[in-house]
């Protein structure tokens, strides 16, 4: 039976690279995102299930998963990937609106999609599946001025641990991939210089986003009797491990 995956945030960056990697590996791929045109661009004529939806909108999420159940009958993997960032600033300079907007996507959106996937995987026969949450290096160490984003990624870690526990009776595995400096639009400025913990601005190395896609494909391809709870993939020389 052909394996099925839903990728949220499928219209760009890591979501786009992952969708193309899974399709090339023979998976049936569904794409969720707010912009239909961007999802179509990811598919680039390939047979992917396009699901325009806002991950932070409960009705949108329910409709998207109902479509998957209707068209495919099951879902083997959710790559819970959609996320946004906020402009770096001290916490007292961050507009409350920016905080709420980020949490609606990075926390509520993750919860809603995980909730819907868990329910579908629990009901389908054979029962079970896998949820892979997109965390971040920020789930371990913050960047300066990143309170909303870093908080959200710590929340994702809590969601991952809970789902990994609660999914056991239903053959549902859950893991998290923490990514550092994959070259996407979000990381485009890194080679030119970004603020460091010591107050300086320095260039940081980046890695090919296709390396991330291959890592997700590896996690997804494991039998449900095995799980990678946390996988960290990063540009080798980025300032995460070490001092000074």
Catalytic sites, residue numbers:
149
Q: Which two tokens stand for residue 122?
A: 């629990």
Q: Which two tokens stand for residue 120?
A: 């579908």
Beta-bridge partners for 182: 207
CA atoms within 13 Å, Cβ hemisphere of 154: 9
Q: Is the peptide bond before 34 cis (omega within 30 degrees of 0)?
A: no
User: Is the Cβ–Cβ distance between 129 and 164 less than 8 Å?
Assistant: no
For residue 61, give every residue at least 6 positions away whose Cβ sits within 8 Å of its Cβ, in sequence order, or none. 53, 55, 109, 112, 113, 116
Q: Which two tokens stand for residue 93?
A: 């300079």
DSSP string, 99-151: HHHHHIIIIIIHHHHHHHHHHHHHHSSS--EEEEEE--GGGTSPPTT-HHHHH
User: Is the Cβ–Cβ distance between 174 and 130 less than 8 Å?
Assistant: yes
Q: How many CB atoms lie within 10 A of CB 134?
A: 25
DSSP string, 211-234: HHHHHHHHHHTS-TT---SEEEEE
Please give the biggest Cα pair distance in the chain.
55
């Amino acid at each position: 039976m052909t394996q099925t995956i839903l990728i949220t945030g499928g219209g760009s960056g890591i979501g786009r690279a992952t969708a193309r990697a899974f399709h090339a590996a023979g998976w049936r791929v569904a794409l969720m995102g707010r912009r239909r045109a961007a999802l179509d661009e990811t598919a680039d004529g390939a047979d992917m299930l396009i699901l325009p939806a806002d991950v932070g909108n409960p009705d949108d999420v329910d409709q998207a998963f109902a479509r998957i159940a209707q068209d495919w009958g099951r879902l083997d993997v959710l790559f819970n990937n959609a996320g946004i960032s906020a402009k770096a600033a001290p916490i007292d300079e961050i507009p409350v609106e920016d905080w709420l907007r980020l949490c609606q996507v990075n926390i509520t959106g993750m919860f809603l999609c995980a909730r819907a996937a868990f329910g579908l995987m629990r009901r389908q026969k054979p029962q079970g599946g896998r949820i892979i949450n997109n965390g971040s290096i920020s789930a371990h160490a913050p960047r300066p001025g990143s309170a909303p984003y870093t908080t959200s990624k710590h929340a994702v870690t809590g969601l991952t641990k809970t789902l990994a526990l609660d999914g056991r009776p239903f053959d549902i595995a859950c893991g998290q991939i923490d990514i550092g400096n994959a070259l996407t639009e979000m990381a485009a400025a890194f080679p030119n210089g970004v603020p460091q913990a010591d107050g300086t601005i320095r260039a940081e190395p980046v890695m090919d986003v296709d390396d991330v896609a291959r890592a997700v494909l590896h996690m997804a391809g494991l039998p449900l009797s095995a799980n990678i709870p946390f996988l960290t993939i990063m540009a080798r020389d980025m300032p995460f491990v070490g001092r000074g």
